[in-house]
Amino acid sequence: MPTVEEGIQSQLRNIEKDYGRTIDELVLIVTESRLTKHNEVVAMLKQRLGMSHGAAHRVSLTARSRTAQPAPLGGGLAPPLQDVYARLLERAVWLGDDIEQSPKKGYVSLRRRKQFAMLQPGARWINVGLVLAKQEPAGRLESAAKWNALFTHRVRVATTADIDDELESWLRTAYNAAG
């Protein structure tokens, strides 16, 4: 059975074949359109290039992932939190090649087949939202019920020392459950 990444690569090859343009050319078209909302990009690709909805959807996601900055939210942070943010993002990406970083307004969503975590810079720490269905909140692994309903837990990470084996274990558990 092919992996998710193999399926995506097959879909991208088929798009190139069906529409006579490379994925790089299609990403350039999306970038030059200056459209940023997924639905607007999909509609533009369908109208301008006659793409099917599925093809336009995949090109939009590919363009977004290729043009997103690795740490889009980290630039406005104080230097110590920039380091924390960069390290958290680095640790999360090391979990697997199939992670999609999806920048949102105010945070970055980390997805596999479904969202498993998010990084949200704050004034004094980086909030790490996690989906850990079978984990009881305890200590620094807080319940996220009052913070963000999309996640089961939150960890506040103020220093690079807070990025330890325990946090990596929670990230890995959430990552594994999302695939």
**Cα-trace Rg, the chain:** 18
Looking at residue 67, its pLDDT comes to: 64
Whether pLDDT at 36 is above 90 = no
pLDDT band at 136 (very low <50, low <70, confident <90, very high): very high
Task: Tell me how far apart the alpha carbons of residues 162 and 155 are, in angstroms, rounded to a whole number.
Answer: 9
Looking at residue 37, its pLDDT comes to: 86
Task: Tell me how far apart the alpha carbons of residues 51 and 55 are, in angstroms, rounded to a whole number.
Answer: 6
pTM of the model: 0.59
Looking at residue 71, its pLDDT comes to: 43
Question: pLDDT tens digits, residue range 51-76?
Answer: 999 899 899 888 887 765 444 455 56
Question: pLDDT tens digits, residue range 37-48?
Answer: 888 999 999 999
